[in-house]
Amino acid sequence: MKVAIIGTGYVGLTTGVTLAFLGHEVTCLDVDAAKIAQLNQGISPIYEPHLDELMKAARSRLKFSTSASDALSQAEVIFIAVGTPSLADGNPNLTYLKSAAEAVGEHIQNPYVVIVNKSTVPIGSGNWVESLVRDAFRSKNSGSKSQFVVASNPEFLREGSALQDMLYADRVVVGSDDEKAISTMRKLYQPLIEQTFTPPSFLPRPENFKMVNFLSSDLQSAELIKYAANAFLALKVSFINEISELSEKVGADISHVAKGIGLDTRIGNKFLQAGLGWGGSCFAKDTAALISTGKEYGLPMVITQAAKDVNTRQRIRMVEILANELKILKGRKIGILGLAFKPFTDDLRDAPAFDVAQKLIDRGAKVIGFDPIAMNRAKKEWAQSEIQFAETAEAVFEEADAVLLITEWPEFLDINFSKSKEKMKNPLILDGRNHLDPVAIKKAGLKMITLGRSS
Ligand code: UGA
């Protein structure tokens, strides 16, 4: 099928590359000419494991363009995957969505087009997009006809494992009140649903993985599924973090508690990793939007709000624990291991590392950080802050009064802690992700504090 994707961010690019890999003719459209030029050279503007390789494998069916008419005029399915960042009031900024919908209305020519909202949009946006497309189409094409339908197809990809999540998804959700739109989307995803494609060697199919669930619903339900899924995951993490604070107080070990409850299949063992809490572009934005939608309807979203509050507290708690240990933060040198909001990405949006570092700087400490992948981005995006950057993980230990582990990159397990301890002013490490081996750290002569264990 002929597919266009508007927006080449994380969601748009991974969706476009995957659909081309599955056999569709895909054009990815973006207003950023530099990004499109880079993509045309086969270079991904984002760090996502295996994206470059999958782009290469799908190259013959994949185009990148800044021309809306090239991308949209012949498309049978158009995905809108533009950013919807949070505004100060918690509502998403829909400016890019509006421009994308208007461009679609101006350029579609195919007799039947499914316009798919892939961006996370407030409930009811499907109807709004439809009216924007209709107005733009009518003002450009008085008299001529194009039938189009707006559908919602929320995405559930995690950064760092986006391609794995897409090719071997738990489910594909499509919301529309139009049967033909649902069947068009089912056809588009058929190779994925039925797993008829040959898996790339670098992303093998998990053993016994047979089919992807396909769920169709009305438009609003699909829109709400996206928010509810992210809010539920966020509150699962906040729940375990609340229990982890209690664990510290009563002398329990959160890793045992998480395992003990996670073995109950009704609860499940995923998203029970206690620590510094969630960051990234999605959870904060989507929980804020859900709360704001609730407000619009006079419904306080108390559970979602509590999840947010606990998450904010974790970052404050990390600084408080450190202050309690060091007594004075002024003039202290604090090393930070991990800057990205999670491992296997260079994304720094709502990164806990920034928040914690800033709080320490505000209290007079010097902060030096290292990340295996997000360094260059951090140097650019955090140029206004006083955060300093080390060239290696070991270098953050130099003269440090404490080192905080904030992102659980696997390579941090390979640090020679005995050697690194020798470089420190004070041998203290605070593991914000329950990532390091307490026995090895103790053996190296460091004092380690973890969230969720009374050390
Ligand atoms: C999240 C969802 O998992 C995806 O399903 C969704 O598609 C995506 O948002 C989105 O809306 O675009 P993502 O933000 O990429 O994906 O990353 P996650 O793996 O969900 O992690 C989010 C945050 O929670 C990270 O900061 C991570 O460190 C933290 N986390 C996760 C924990 O603290 N503990 C856990 O047990 C799991």
SS3 readout for 372-389: CCCHHHHHHHCCCCCCEE
Specify the residue for token string 């060091």.
326
* Cα(147)–Cα(109) distance, integer angstroms: 9
210 shares its domain with 273: no
* Cα(343)–Cα(159) distance, integer angstroms: 9
415 shares its domain with 273: no
* Cα(131)–Cα(391) distance, integer angstroms: 52
pTM for the model: 0.94
pLDDT one-digit tens code per residue, 122-149: 888 889 999 999 999 998 887 677 789 9
Residue 208: inside a domain: yes
Pocket test for ligand 1, best of 342, 349, 405 (most atoms within 8 A of CB): 342
* Cα(338)–Cα(348) distance, integer angstroms: 10
Closest ligand 1 atom to the C-alpha of 271? Answer: 36
433 shares its domain with 299: no
Quickly count: other Cβ atoms within 10 Å of residue 246's Cβ. Answer: 12
pLDDT one-digit tens code per residue, 326-336: 999 999 999 99
- Is there an atom of ligand 1 within 6 Å of 9 CB? no
Is residue 194 pLDDT above 70, yes or no? yes
Contact 397, 420 (CB under 8 A): yes
71 shares its domain with 186: yes
Q: What is the pLDDT of residue 347?
A: 94
Closest ligand 1 atom to the C-alpha of 347? Answer: 15
Quickly count: other Cβ atoms within 10 Å of residue 207's Cβ. Answer: 5
Residue 222: inside a domain: no
Q: What is the pLDDT of residue 58?
A: 96
Q: What is the pLDDT of residue 88?
A: 83
- Is there an atom of ligand 1 within 6 Å of 237 CB? yes
- Is there an atom of ligand 1 within 6 Å of 278 CB? yes
Is residue 455 pLDDT above 80, yes or no? no
Of 286, 306, 326, which one is at a domain's C-terminal end? 306
Angle of helix 254-262 relative to helix 219-250, nearest 10 degrees, comes to 140
358 shares its domain with 271: no
Q: Ligand 1, atom 2: nearest CA belongs to which residue?
A: 158
Is residue 324 pLDDT above 90, yes or no? yes
288 shares its domain with 367: no
Residue 288: inside a domain: yes
Which of 357, 365, 275, 370 lies closest to 327 in space, CA to CA? Answer: 365
| Options 282, 318, 403, 444, the catalytic residue | 282
User: Sorting pLDDT into bands at 50, 70 and 90, what band is 85?
Assistant: confident
Mean per-residue pLDDT, 275-299: 95
Rounded alpha-carbon distances, angstroms, from residue 84 to 117, 228, 278, 308: 12, 17, 19, 19
**What's the CA-to-centroid distance between 278 and ligand 1, angstroms?**
7
Q: In DSSP terms, which residues pair with 241 in a beta bridge?
A: none
Of 259, 290, 306, which one is at a domain's C-terminal end? 306
**What's the CA-to-centroid distance between 158 and ligand 1, angstroms?**
6
* Category of 299 on φ-ψ map: left (φ > 0), alpha (ψ -120 to 50) or beta: beta
273 shares its domain with 339: no
250 vs 91, which has greater pLDDT? 250
Q: What is the DSSP string of 397-420?
A: GTT-SEEEE-S--GGGGGS-HHHH
66 shares its domain with 193: yes
Instruction: Report the sign of the C-alpha dihedral through residues 36, 75, 23, 16, in that order.
Output: positive
Buried b (16+ CB within 10 A) or exposed e, 294-310: eeeeeeebeebbebbeb
CATH number at residue 247: 1.10.1040.10
Residue 281: inside a domain: yes
Rounded alpha-carbon distances, angstroms, from residue 427 to 314, 408, 421: 23, 20, 6
**What's the CA-to-centroid distance between 404 and ligand 1, angstroms?**
21
**What's the CA-to-centroid distance between 226 and ligand 1, angstroms?**
13
Buried b (16+ CB within 10 A) or exposed e, 168-180: bbeebbbbbeeee
Residue 455: inside a domain: no
Counting DSSP H helices and E strands in the chain, the numbers are 16, 14
Is residue 104 pLDDT above 70, yes or no? yes
The structure tokens listed for 63 are 């185009």
pLDDT one-digit tens code per residue, 200-228: 999 999 999 999 999 999 999 999 999 99
Specify whether 28 is catalytic. Answer: no
Mean per-residue pLDDT, 396-425: 98
- Is there an atom of ligand 1 within 6 Å of 238 CB? no
Residues of the chain with pLDDT > 70, as a percent, come to 100
326 shares its domain with 406: yes
Closest ligand 1 atom to the C-alpha of 279? Answer: 26
Residues of the chain with pLDDT > 90, as a percent, come to 92
Give the mean pLDDT of the chain: 95
407 shares its domain with 434: yes
Pocket test for ligand 1, best of 283, 407, 409, 433 (most atoms within 8 A of CB): 283
Q: 252 lies in which domain range?
A: 227-306
Residue 292: inside a domain: yes
**What's the CA-to-centroid distance between 281 and ligand 1, angstroms?**
9
333 shares its domain with 358: yes
Helix, strand or coil, per DSSP, at residue 105: helix
pLDDT one-digit tens code per residue, 26-47: 999 999 999 999 999 999 999 9
**What's the CA-to-centroid distance between 221 and ligand 1, angstroms?**
22
Q: Ligand 1, atom 11: nearest CA belongs to which residue?
A: 282
Mean per-residue pLDDT, 71-82: 96
Residue 140: inside a domain: yes
CATH number at residue 80: 3.40.50.720
Contact 348, 373 (CB under 8 A): no
Contact 370, 395 (CB under 8 A): yes
Residue 365: inside a domain: yes
Amino acid code (one letter) for 67: S
- Residue 45 CA, distance from chain mean position: 16
User: How many CA atoms lie within 13 Å of 113's alpha carbon, on the beta-carbon side?
Assistant: 28
Q: What angle do CA 211, 115, 165 make, to 5 degrees?
A: 30
Closest ligand 1 atom to the C-alpha of 275? Answer: 33
Q: In DSSP terms, which residues pair with 172 in a beta bridge?
A: 214
Contact 381, 407 (CB under 8 A): no
Which of 393, 425, 391 lies closest to 406 in space, CA to CA? Answer: 393
Contact 209, 194 (CB under 8 A): no
Mean per-residue pLDDT, 344-360: 96
Q: What is the pLDDT of residue 294?
A: 95
Give the helix ranges, DSSP H, for 194-301. 219-250, 254-262, 283-296
Q: Ligand 1, atom 25: nearest CA belongs to which residue?
A: 278
264 shares its domain with 328: no
Q: How many domains does the chain fold into?
A: 3
